[in-house]
């Protein structure tokens, strides 16, 4: 059995990470521990052992009574597993409480897949993560900047984001208007002052599309991070909702992806809205809210239009729509798709050897 560490909060990108992992190794058993409402995406995966509602509620009660951060069953499962796979994107962020948040893994076979590093601010955090990486069998970062930060550690590698290699799409060929992935800037300290500007531009894009009879779909990739709340605020400022639909991800991966695939153009704030748009052959305008997006764009030698919130850029709705006319496909997308498979290279060897 392999124990999975992941961000299990009904976040589409992270759920697709886990799905990619468990479907790659159909003969391997995987253990997932999280709130049952956040494990719906994996209910059809026959090789996934999910914690049930009764057990989860019992563990929560025990945790409160003993005032422990973790739970003994989770801890024992991680220790007894043949390996632990920590799969996710932003798993190395220096927060105010990072010392409490970083839980050591008591297993000799640790694989870290799909991560980026940072933001980080102190040498203490750098050193702590270096120690973690030195204990891992493998750590494959998804951007060159993160890799270079730890390149002297033997276990560290680079390959493109896992979802560049995702293939289980139901439909990628429909051409039905513009899809916009929205995030809630209100909860992001460094960008909260951009909330009104950002949401105003998205609202204006929706209104322009209504005037031009272009269908618009607003996508909430993660309800736990309040994407839907930002969408609700945008819709409140639009008199008529004609031609605008809202798709919320709540654990039904295939339904969400199918609706996403229907769009011809993507305005992507979410990192994986950007990646999935490219993989599906869409024209994509990235909205930059995190350095992790900039690092990926540099790796891809991206030359098309972006709206960079980090650099304080302003945008006009009409300019965003006009920009789609000049966007070209990524020239290296097929190679990137192929290279993304390398995220699993070391784990492939471990599992093949163990069978």
Residue 332: the pLDDT is: 87
Task: Return the pLDDT at 34.
Answer: 82
Give the pLDDT of residue 349: 96
Q: What's the pLDDT score for residue 65?
A: 63
35 contacts 8 by C-beta, under 8 angstroms: yes
Specify the pLDDT at position 112: 97
Report the alpha-carbon distance of residue 179 to residue 144 in Å, rounded: 29
Distances (CA, A) of 64 to 33, 70, 244: 17, 10, 44
265: nearest Cα among 255, 278, 246: 278
Distance CA 145, CA 292 (A): 9
CB 59, CB 34: distance < 8 Å:
no
Q: What pLDDT, on the 0 to 100 scale, is given for residue 79?
A: 85
Q: Are 290 and 269 in contact (CB under 8 A)?
A: no
Q: Quote the pLDDT of residue 247.
A: 98
Which domains, ranges and CATH numbers included, belong to the chain?
2-165+337-354 (3.40.50), 178-333 (3.40.50.2000)
What is the C-alpha separation between 131 and 154, in angstroms, rounded? 12
Counting as low any pLDDT under 50, the low residues of the chain are none
Residue 60 has a pLDDT of: 64
Whole-number Å distance between alpha carbons of 346 and 83: 12
Give the CA angle between residues 203, 270, 2 to the nearest 5°.
Answer: 150
């Amino acid at each position: 059995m392999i124990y999975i560490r992941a961000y299990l909060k009904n976040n589409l990108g992270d759920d697709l990470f886990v799905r990619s992992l468990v479907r790659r190794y159909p003969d391997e058993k995987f253990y997932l521990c999280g709130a049952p409402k956040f494990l719906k995406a994996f209910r059809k995966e026959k090789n996934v052992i999910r914690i049930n509602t009764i057990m989860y509620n019992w563990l929560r009660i025990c945790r409160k009574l003993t005032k422990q951060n973790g739970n003994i069953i989770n801890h024992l499962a991680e220790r007894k597993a043949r390996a632990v796979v920590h799969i996710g994107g932003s798993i190395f962020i220096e927060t105010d409480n990072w010392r409490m948040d970083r839980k050591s893994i008591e297993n000799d076979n640790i694989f870290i897949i799909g991560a980026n590093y940072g933001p980080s601010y102190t040498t203490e955090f750098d050193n702590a993560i270096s120690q973690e990486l030195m204990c891992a069998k493998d750590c494959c970062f998804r951007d060159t900047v993160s890799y270079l930060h730890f390149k002297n550690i033997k276990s560290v590698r680079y390959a493109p984001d896992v979802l560049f290699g995702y293939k289980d799409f139901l439909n990628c060929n429909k051409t039905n208007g513009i899809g916009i992935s929205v995030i809630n800037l209100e909860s992001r300290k460094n960008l909260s002052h951009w909330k009104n500007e950002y949401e105003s531009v998205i609202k204006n894009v929706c209104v322009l599309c209504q005037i031009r009879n272009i269908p618009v779909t607003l996508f909430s990739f993660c309800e736990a991070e309040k994407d839907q709340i930002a969408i609700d605020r945008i819709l409140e400022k639009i008199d008529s909702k004609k031609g605008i639909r809202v798709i919320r991800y709540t654990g039904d991966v295939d339904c969400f992806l199918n609706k996403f695939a229907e769009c011809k153009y993507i305005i992507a704030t979410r990192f994986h809205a950007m990646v999935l748009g490219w993989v599906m052959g869409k024209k994509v305008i990235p909205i930059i809210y995190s350095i992790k997006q900039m690092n990926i764009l540099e790796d891809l030698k991206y030359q098309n239009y972006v709206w960079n919130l980090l650099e304080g850029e302003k945008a006009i709705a009409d300019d965003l729509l006009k920009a789609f006319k000049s966007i070209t496909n990524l020239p290296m997308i097929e190679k990137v798709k192929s290279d993304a498979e390398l995220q699993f290279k070391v784990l492939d060897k471990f599992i093949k050897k163990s069978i």
